Structure 1
Amino acid sequence: MIEHSHNHEEMSRSRFFVVTVLNVLITIAEFIGGIFSGSLSLVSDAFHNLGDSLSIVISYAASRISLRNQDESNTYGYKRAQIITAFLNSIALVIICLILIVEAVRRFSHPEPIDGPVMLTVAVIGLLANAASALLLNSGAKHNLNMKATYLHIMSDALSSVAIIVGGILIQIFHWNWVDPLVTILVAGYIAYESWPIIRQTNRILMEGAPKLDYEQIKNDLLKIDGVYNVHHVHAWLIDEHNIVFSAHVNLHDMKISEAQPIYREIEAVLRQKYDICHITIQAEADRGKDEDIIYDQGEDI
């Protein structure tokens, strides 16, 4: 499993690099196309892509930083770099969506003229490049919050290109100038909706929120181990969306440390295999805390 995860992360980082290059090229093409066609919507989308390009570069850098091993400065390693980036990228995306919605509402009353051929050509090129980027990131977005946030940035760009293409065609044929802001609102609303769960999840991780574990069942499983008669003062938190850290105090019958080690191994086996916990700290006690609950709550901080 560890080897598979490592290979997956290496593949994700190489795809990040390709997507970064593609997005920078799209940004340049849209700026040039917007200037020559006089299309404000295309220039606006170029600014949108510029912001996304910066976000992708930051995401790529975070994915590299997360490879660093634990050291004296970060004893749990640097995996949180990707969580921080995913959090900031998602917030930035929601802000961009709100700005686009405000601009779209303004354009209902003040529609902008669109020069079709050049604008549509650039928009189609942008759509193809964004679609290729989205395909590259699609699989990784299911397993990595940082990549998912970047994937949503790319999807927002692709949908923006679709909006420009559809709006441009309808305006050219039917002169429906209201189509462009309408599609923009729909696209922005969808992207903001998809970004919100990432904000919630990354915020929970950064705030040391507990993973969704059945703590009473964990206690029952550990009490089945010979020598363990109570479990209390449990803490669990996430380093990133995959790695759970767990600590607990366990009451054992009075014994030598060498006799307790096999019990430790049994506890670790249960927590790793059944609950997918990667880092486990157990504090053995005889009588201390034997009447405390599994979750520490003494009316004060830890």
Structure 2
Amino acid sequence: MTHHHTHNHSHQKLTGRNLLFSILLNVGITVAQVAGGLISGSLSLLSDALHNFSDVLSLIVSYFANRLAKKEASIKRTFGFKRAEIMAAFINAASLMIIAIILIFEAIERLQNPQKISAQIVIILSGIAILGNGLSVLLLRRDSKVNMNMRSAYLHLITDLMASVAVLIGGLLMRYYEIFWVDSVLTFAIAVYLIIVGFDLLKRSFKVLMLYTPDTIEVKEIVATINGLPKVKSIHHVHVWQLNEEETHLEAHIDFQEDIQVSEFGNILHEIEAILQEQFNINHVTLQPEYGKKDNKDIIVQD
């Protein structure tokens, strides 16, 4: 069995200092918002704090995943720590959805029994959150263009910024017009948004953990392309999965029409690797060559 992998992504050095500073900045914002929400009685401020805290977790995961990625694989960890980010994303998404559902029930209860809220605290803390998130967005903007991990964190911080703006508007409405029910409405809206984002992340991370074939890849198209090559009789027993966001693997058995030499198989292998990389973005390929072997020739075989 021959294995080969290529990397078409460039591991440019990320500015870890900016990421670490963004983490500390957002931890400070989250703590302030939680304290302010409890003091003022504002659920929307607490829900914004939750949103911000979820992004703090995302930033922390990104930071440590970047550090862990530099550790070499070992006998006990042949894949290294490449799945750490996916596992953390799954746990983070699940907990985020649970807390968001609790917030929705709290918001409905508040709508039925409105309470007076200290709008001044809401205005001040949402303003601080806007400044902090805005600075974090600027710090990560450059890195977001070269790394998917940073791109995700960058987009989360932008949504944080938008949520804080919404809370500020709500605070102003409560302060000058005494429309206190807007706090519950904003809480409900932010919680629903968190569930939508959380469910999408939960679904994507679940698919990777369960070794699903990536949505962008058609296995039958791969099979038809490889089977069209000279001397290839059939490619079967195919597995395609993602190890993480950057690595997509394919392993399969490949049956030849004649008993070719190992050196010739090497040439065919290089051609297949190029096709899989360029057309399907698969960068880790493992193929088992066969000739006249009586095994199951189905495309998908349950091991």
TM-score by length of 2: 0.82
1:265–1:56 Cα change, 3 Å = closer
Deviation at 1:33, TM superposition (A): 4.9
Runs of 4+ with >6 A deviation: none
Counterparts of 1:1-302 in structure 2, within 5 Å, are 5-7=10-12, 10-11=13-14, 13-30=16-33, 33=36, 38-41=39-42, 44=46, 48=50, 49=52, 53-54=56-57, 56-137=59-140, 140=144, 144=148, 148=152, 150=153, 154=157, 157-211=160-214, 212-252=216-256, 253-289=258-294, 292-296=297-301, 301-302=302-303
Of stretches 284-293 and 242-251 in structure 1, the one that deviates more from structure 2 is: 284-293
Deviation at 1:161, TM superposition (A): 2.8
d(CA) in 2 for partners of 1:178, 1:78: 47
SS in 1 for 2:14: helix
Give the aligned partner of residue 3 of structure 2.
none
Are the equivalent residues in 2 in contact too, given 1:91–1:199 (CA < 8 A)?
yes
State the AA in 1 paired with 2:46. Answer: S
Deviation at 1:153, TM superposition (A): 5.6
1:179–1:31 Cα change, 3 Å = closer
Once superposed, what is the RMSD of the aligned Cα atoms? 3.1
State the AA in 1 paired with 2:290. Answer: E
SS in 2 for 1:204: helix
Of stretches 154-163 and 118-127 in structure 1, the one that deviates more from structure 2 is: 154-163
d(CA) in 2 for partners of 1:186, 1:46: 11
Runs of 5+ unmatched residues, structure 2: 1-5
**Higher-helix-fraction structure:** 1
State the AA in 2 paired with 1:132. Answer: L
SS in 2 for 1:114: coil
Are the equivalent residues in 1 in contact too, given 2:8–2:283 (CA < 8 A)?
no
Cα deviations by residue, 1:205-239 (Å, 9 ceiling, x for unpaired): 00011124222322232233322111111111101
Are the equivalent residues in 2 in contact too, given 1:156–1:187 (CA < 8 A)?
no
d(CA) in 1 for partners of 2:230, 2:133: 57
State the AA in 2 paired with 1:265. Answer: H
Which fold has the larger relative contact order, with Cα–Cα distance below 8 Å and residues 6 or more apart in sequence? 2
Runs of 5+ unmatched residues, structure 1: none
SS in 1 for 2:251: strand
SS in 2 for 1:23: helix
SS in 2 for 1:11: coil
Size of the aligned set, in residue pairs, is 293
Are the equivalent residues in 2 in contact too, given 1:243–1:278 (CA < 8 A)?
yes
Are the equivalent residues in 2 in contact too, given 1:100–1:185 (CA < 8 A)?
yes
Give percent identity, aligned residues only. 32
Are the equivalent residues in 1 in contact too, given 2:47–2:191 (CA < 8 A)?
no
Of stretches 43-52 and 227-236 in structure 1, the one that deviates more from structure 2 is: 43-52
1:174–1:156 Cα change, 3 Å = same
TM-score by length of 1: 0.83
Are the equivalent residues in 1 in contact too, given 2:42–2:118 (CA < 8 A)?
no
